Amino acid sequence: IRRELHRTEKLAVLSELAASVAHEIRNPMTVARGFMQVLNQAQVSESKKQIYTAMVIEEIDRAQSIINDYLSFAKPQAETLESIDISSLIQKLMNLISPYASLRDVQIKVQFEPGLWIHGHLEKMIQCLVNITKNGIEAMPKGGTLQLRGYRQNGRVILEIHDDGVGMTHEQIDQLGTPFYSTKHKGTGLGMMVSYRIIKNLSGEISVTSQLNKGTCFKISLPAVVIRS
Ligand code: ADP
Ligand code: MG
């Protein structure tokens, strides 16, 4: 399915989303407020204070993640697209996700054809790939291998992100990209939606194949840019 997201359409999505974002932020705020009220009472034991404080911080972090993810979608982008060299894009991506991967015993393998270029917004593309690779890493709680591949096919640049993690059911795959759909304790359920929109904005396509307990592969296809030297 190739389709451009037009400005008015994007605005509609934004305002629709704003309402649910407000709702999702209100929840952790209410919880945090409740804990603060309890903490304010003199007779709270030291151990309970610690627990409540940790919970308040967790709720605030959650609200913050939601705001960050939403803003990355809502942030206006320049009308003109820049030429992006995939190898430098991947280098920047690696700098961002490597620490997260090694912390979780995930090895990253990279295999890219040279000379791959696309049109896009560098920051948005990084955001898109961070969201997908982060999910891949999180899908492997016992560690594993994340494979990133890039090649050219029929005038398009194909980027593949494989993990050998928990995988998804058909029902889960159908929910992907729905705002706030998350199976994670601290998930925001905004990452995939943001990634899908970024790719669609570039006349790209994104597909997913997944098998429960085997792993998942996201495949992104974007028009290739011909660079003459
Ligand atoms: P979040 O990561 O905050 O939960 P996302 O929008 O990034 O939100 O992802 C939504 C859901 O999609 C995840 O909670 C997870 O259930 C599922 N998902 C995404 N990527 C993968 C993957 N590589 N393997 C397994 N499940 C995934
Ligand atoms: Mg995510």
Q: Is 177 in the pocket of ligand 1 (CB under 6 A)?
A: no
pTM for the full model? 0.81
Ligand 1 centroid–CA 211 distance in Å is 14
Q: Is 183 in the pocket of ligand 1 (CB under 6 A)?
A: yes
According to DSSP, the residues that pair with 15 across neighbouring strands are none
Ligand 2 centroid–CA 132 distance in Å is 7
Task: Output the tens digit of pLDDT for each of the chain's 229 residues.
Answer: 334 445 555 566 666 677 778 878 888 899 999 999 998 887 889 998 999 999 999 999 988 888 887 777 767 766 788 999 999 999 999 998 998 999 999 999 999 999 999 999 988 899 899 999 999 999 999 999 999 999 999 999 999 999 999 999 999 999 998 888 899 987 888 899 889 988 988 999 999 999 999 999 999 999 999 877 6
Residue having the nearest C-alpha atom to atom 13 of ligand 1: 182
Look up the ipTM and state it: 0.99
Ligand nearest to the CA of 176: 1
